Amino acid sequence: MPLLVAALVQHNLTLHWGHRLLVANDFFGLAVFLAAAFTDILDGYLARRWKQVTTVGTLLDPIADKLLISAALISLVEIRLLPGWLVILIIGREFAVSGLRSIAAAEGYTIKAGELGKSKMAFQVVGVALVMLSIRWSQLRPYALMAMWAVVIFGLASAIDYFRKFWRKVDESIKMRRRRELILLERQKRRLEHALKGRRSVQSAESESASIRHPG
């Protein structure tokens, strides 16, 4: 991420070998972004292939995706290649789904990426790559914007799908847990009141017995 941001926002960042230019900042940023995206996809593929999918990995993998995409999008807004409102829509969607994942995880549910979410990630990679390429080739800019609009559409659609599938389950789980907690507290309260009544009865009986043994 630091390399990606530096490559995009620092226009004078270039790699030289002597007097020869090896790579400009836009190509370097694109290479870093694609390498990060490829290794992220490869990580998920290998985890599934080798049956090493874990709950922690399932939770952290989307976070890695969001950090990478957010860093790229914010950098592209900084250099005025993307409108800020469009990026806010995309990142806002990511925050909303991340919040749902966190609440679901606290209730014992693990939300895995659906087909719409996977399509959204693919469009994000393609869209961001096209926007980066449009730095050098402006004729690609309309296609880059079309891809980013596809990101927004698929992102919102997948968010609606996640909330539709899991929000009711999570909400019902939270209500059931709170109901159980209230029932448990009520039972404990009744037991305490019963124990106090029993203690008072014993104390009353003992005082009556003492008054009978020692009248007057």
Distance, in Å, from the CA atom of 47 to the CA atom of 155, rounded to the nearest integer, reads 24
Q: Which of 9-18, 29-38, 167-176 has the highest mean pLDDT?
A: 29-38
pLDDT recorded at residue 85: 92
Instruction: Give the mean pLDDT of 167-185.
Output: 72
Q: Could you tell me the pLDDT band of residue 116, with boundaries at 50, 70 and 90? A: low
How many domains does the chain divide into? 1
The CATH code of the domain that includes 82 is 1.20.120
- Report if residue 206 sits inside a domain: no
**Which residue bears the tokens 């593929």?**
45
Instruction: Give the mean pLDDT of 177-206.
Output: 74
More confident site: 195 or 202: 195
151 close to 129: Cβ distance less than 8 angstroms: no
Range of the domain at 61: 2-175
71 close to 1: Cβ distance less than 8 angstroms: yes
- Report if residue 102 sits inside a domain: yes
Q: What percent of the chain has pLDDT over 70?
A: 75
Joined tokens for residue 145: 């914007």
